[in-house]
């Protein structure tokens, strides 16, 4: 074939402009795309050679080579795969969009690059070379064709390309990038190796580069004629689990996570069906310093056919599992044009759901069979896992079973299931109290009647607990009930004599209650007697529908405005200090001190600490 100059489809200048300026967020992606294309060409030869072994010719070992020439300012990506005939070169390299250039541009511009299958439909990967090159030359020969049937294709990425027949002894394809001015950074063995290591380390074929050696006389690195593999060419996750030792799993974790400690647990599975993918997921032993940064991702690496796509595949793992590390490798996951942003699709959702369930199953196994190890996990990641109760409705029950708390019977490790098993006969609710610290929660006056009757109360002191409780209302049919909200009603757990005594005390105490309501009208919504107190004179609670005092304090600390609501003061009519109120000339001072002390015991802060100190001092000095 004589050299021919042929035209690209119309608007090709605009398309190549989009390819080089819009489709990729970093320039180094071009090497990933071209190495991936070379790998595909070798896979095609391997497939066709199943019926025609002669296609291997005299080179049965498939490989990819990457070379560069500093003087000529070229980078060459070579493979000994299937290659192309002249007709195929024109068809595949001269046509960007077989289904229409206008349609291609419409999808790019009109849908903001949301289409998931543009790479597959339009073959844009090859044209990523124009990100760094002002001319691309392709020399190729199809496997099984004569040496005289080689083809050279060349284009400057403008409006046309040249194609001619050449003599080519080797089968396969060479893609030669003639770098534009300013792109010389890629003419470096170190730079090219680092890009290959980042994106193409695990593809199944060896990627070779010419070996570098040190020249003592020149005091510089020189290139030798020897070629060496610069990728591992072996993805651990693609091997059978029976062929991988625990030490190998741990070593791989350290490579991908930069964590020197062994992981707490891991799971390795191949999922088959409509969506096929392999998952190798790890739970670290220690929390990273940026665990609470919900915008910080980077745990799960996404590969497609062993080709690295991205570090932070956030669409494949829910935010509350952001501590999980590992690899997901899909054979057919739909991507957008740049292969950098996952498209929300049924496949993506299926992988996310599958990975979530697998991680939860792994945690369930550790919780059941390695309780000490799970206790350590909960210390590190429990607060983050609690976020899932409001984010992952489908797995709410599984998550609730994984949660652990302190209680009035244990300092840590109490599950909802443990609590339910220990519930008193006739107990209908799971009781809890929230506070800033474990000491504040444990010494809360609201717990006194529960402690007296041996009723266990969960002590919730994580900042995320209030948010969790806004989404978790019951467990195993038992409602979660705050001991600091509304009136205490222990139902059948409180005998009739206690109820009658409480009612009689309330009736006798009515005159004092009215005076307390008047004295505290600006600070308390109501004042009432209660049966929940045993040793303390008073406590503050909130109405059933009001925001808890603990949550209101957290909002205030975060600079947010909490809804204004006054607490309810509950008094123990049998306490000596409360009995002293009746007829005391210092009634107003005692009433204010009673309220302030109840507020402090609950973990609250006084609006006027100096006034409280003055009242106490007056009482002390007057006896």
CATH code reported for the domain at 493-622: 1.20.120.790
**Does the pLDDT value for residue 113 go beyond 50?**
no
Per-residue confidence at 544, pLDDT binned at 50, 70, 90? Answer: confident
In whole angstroms, give the CA distance from residue 87 to residue 69.
Answer: 30
**Does the pLDDT value for residue 595 go beyond 70?**
yes
Mean pLDDT over 24-40 rounds to: 84
> How high is the pLDDT of residue 74?
95
| Residue 433 DSSP symbol | E
SS3 of residue 89 by DSSP = helix
pTM of the model: 0.73
Q: 3.50.50.60, 3.30.230.80, 2.40.128.20, 3.90.25.10: which CATH number matches 236-376?
A: 3.30.230.80
> By percentage, how much of the chain surpasses pLDDT 70?
82
When mean pLDDT is compared over 88-102, 116-130, 462-476, the highest value belongs to 462-476
User: What are the backbone dihedrals phi and psi of residue 112, each rounded to the nearest 5 degrees, phi first?
Assistant: 50, 45
- Higher pLDDT, residue 52 or 256: 52
Per-residue confidence at 398, pLDDT binned at 50, 70, 90? Answer: very high
At 291-313, the pLDDT tens digits run 766 666 668 888 887 877 777 67
At 147-184, the pLDDT tens digits run 999 999 998 877 788 999 999 999 999 999 999 999 99
| Measured CA distances, 622 to 215, 579, 584 (Å) | 95, 19, 13
CB 571 within 8 A of CB 529: yes
**Does the pLDDT value for residue 417 go beyond 90?**
yes
Burial, 606: exposed, middle or buried (Cβ in 10 Å; 0-12, 13-18, 19+)?
Answer: middle
Average the pLDDT over each of 127-131, 471-475, 590-594 and give the range with the smallest value: 127-131
> How high is the pLDDT of residue 97?
42
Residue spans of the domains in the chain: they are 4-229, 236-376, 386-490, 493-622
> How high is the pLDDT of residue 157?
79
Mean pLDDT over 466-487 rounds to: 88
Mean pLDDT over 77-96 rounds to: 86
**Mean of per-residue pLDDT scores for the chain:** 83
Longest CA–CA span in the chain (Å) reads 118
Token readout for 220 is 């510089």
> How high is the pLDDT of residue 583?
73
SS (H, E, C) 21-40: HCCCCCCCHHHHHHHHHHHH
> How high is the pLDDT of residue 568?
87
In whole angstroms, give the CA distance from residue 407 to residue 415.
Answer: 10
227 Rama class: left (phi>0) / alpha (psi -120 to 50) / beta: beta
CB 508 within 8 A of CB 573: yes
**Does the pLDDT value for residue 111 go beyond 60?**
no
Task: Tell me which fold the domain 386-490 belongs to.
Answer: Rossmann fold (3.40.50)
The torsion of the CA quartet 219, 221, 226, 231, rounded to 10 degrees, works out to: 150
> How high is the pLDDT of residue 126?
82
The torsion of the CA quartet 296, 298, 300, 303, rounded to 10 degrees, works out to: 130
At 548-579, the pLDDT tens digits run 777 777 667 666 676 777 888 988 888 888 88
CB 30 within 8 A of CB 127: no
Q: Which residues contact 547 (CB under 8 A, 6 or more apart)?
A: 562, 563, 565
> Across-strand partners of 570?
528, 539
Q: How many residues does the chain have?
A: 623
> How high is the pLDDT of residue 557?
66
Report how far Cα 2 is from the mean position of its chain's Cα atoms. 57
CATH code reported for the domain at 4-229: 3.30.565.10
Burial, 260: exposed, middle or buried (Cβ in 10 Å; 0-12, 13-18, 19+)?
Answer: exposed
* Cα four-point dihedral sign 303, 309, 311, 316: negative
CB 13 within 8 A of CB 50: no
**Does the pLDDT value for residue 427 go beyond 50?**
yes
Per-residue confidence at 334, pLDDT binned at 50, 70, 90? Answer: low
Residue (of 337, 6, 29, 1) closest to 155 by Cα position? 6
């Amino acid at each position: 074939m004589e050299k021919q100059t042929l035209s690209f489809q119309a608007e090709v200048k605009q398309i190549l402009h989009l390819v080089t300026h819009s489709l990729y967020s970093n320039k180094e992606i071009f090497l990933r795309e071209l190495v991936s294309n070379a790998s595909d060409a070798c896979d095609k030869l391997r497939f066709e050679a199943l019926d025609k072994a002669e296609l291997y010719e005299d080179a049965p070992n498939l490989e990819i080579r990457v070379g560069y020439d500093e003087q000529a300012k070229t980078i060459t990506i070579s493979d000994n795969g299937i290659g192309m005939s002249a007709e195929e070169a024109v068809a595949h390299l001269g046509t960007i969009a077989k289904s229409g250039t206008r349609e291609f541009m419409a999808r790019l511009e009109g849908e903001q690059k949301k289409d998931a299958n543009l790479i597959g439909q339009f073959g844009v990967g090859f044209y990523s070379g124009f990100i760094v090159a002002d001319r691309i030359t392709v020399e190729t020969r199809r496997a099984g064709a004569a040496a005289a049937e080689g083809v050279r294709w060349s284009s400057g990425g403008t409006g046309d390309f040249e194609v001619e027949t050449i003599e080519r002894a080797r089968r396969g394809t060479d893609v030669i990038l003639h770098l534009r001015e300013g792109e010389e950074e890629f003419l470096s063995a170190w730079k090219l190796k680092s890009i290959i290591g980042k994106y193409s380390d695990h593809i199944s074929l060896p990627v070779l580069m010419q070996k570098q050696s040190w020249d003592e006389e020149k005091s510089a690195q020189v290139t030798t004629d020897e070629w060496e593999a610069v990728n591992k060419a072996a993805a651990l996750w693609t091997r059978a689990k029976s062929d991988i030792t625990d030490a190998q799993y741990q070593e791989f974790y350290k490579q991908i996570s930069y964590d020197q400690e062994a992981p707490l647990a891991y799971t390795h599975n191949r999922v088959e069906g409509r969506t096929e993918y392999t998952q190798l997921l790890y739970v670290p032993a220690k929390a990273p310093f940026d665990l609470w940064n919900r915008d910080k991702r980077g745990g799960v690496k996404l590969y497609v056919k062993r080709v690295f796509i991205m570090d932070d595949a956030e669409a494949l793992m829910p935010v509350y599992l952001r501590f999980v590390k590992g690899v997901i490798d899909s054979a057919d996951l739909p991507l957008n044009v740049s292969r950098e942003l996952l498209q929300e699709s049924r496949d993506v959702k299926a992988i996310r759901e599958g990975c979530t369930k697998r991680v939860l199953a792994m945690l369930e196994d550790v919780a059941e069979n390695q309780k000490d190890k799970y206790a350590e996990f909960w210390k590190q990641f429990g607060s983050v896992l609690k976020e899932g109760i409001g984010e992952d409705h489908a797995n709410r029950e599984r998550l609730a079973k994984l949660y652990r708390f302190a209680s009035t019977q244990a300092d840590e490790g109490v599950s909802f299931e443990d609590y339910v098993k220990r519930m008193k006969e006739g107990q209908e609710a799971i009781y809890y109290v929230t506070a800033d610290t474990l000491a504040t929660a444990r010494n809360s006056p609201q717990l006194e009647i529960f402690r007296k009757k041996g009723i266990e109360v969960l002590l919730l002191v994580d900042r995320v607990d209030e948010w969790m409780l806004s989404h978790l209302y019951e467990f195993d049919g038992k409602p979660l009930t705050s001991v600091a909200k509304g009136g205490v009603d222990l139902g059948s757990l409180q005998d009739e004599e206690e109820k009658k005594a409480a009612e009689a005390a309330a009736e006798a105490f009515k005159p004092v209650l009215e005076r307390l309501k008047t004295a505290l009208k600006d600070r308390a919504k109501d004042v009432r007697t209660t049966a929940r107190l045993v040793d303390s004179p008073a406590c503050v609670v909130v109405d059933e529908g009001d925001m808890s005092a603990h949550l209101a304090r957290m909002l205030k600390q975060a600079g947010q405005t909490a809804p204004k609501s006054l607490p309810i003061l509950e008094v123990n009519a049998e306490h000596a200090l409360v009995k002293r109120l009746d007829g005391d000339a210092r009634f107003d001072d005692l009433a204010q001190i009673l309220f302030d002390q109840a507020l402090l015991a609950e973990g609250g802060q006084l609006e006027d600490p100096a006034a409280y100190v003055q009242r106490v001092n007056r009482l002390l000095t007057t006896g």
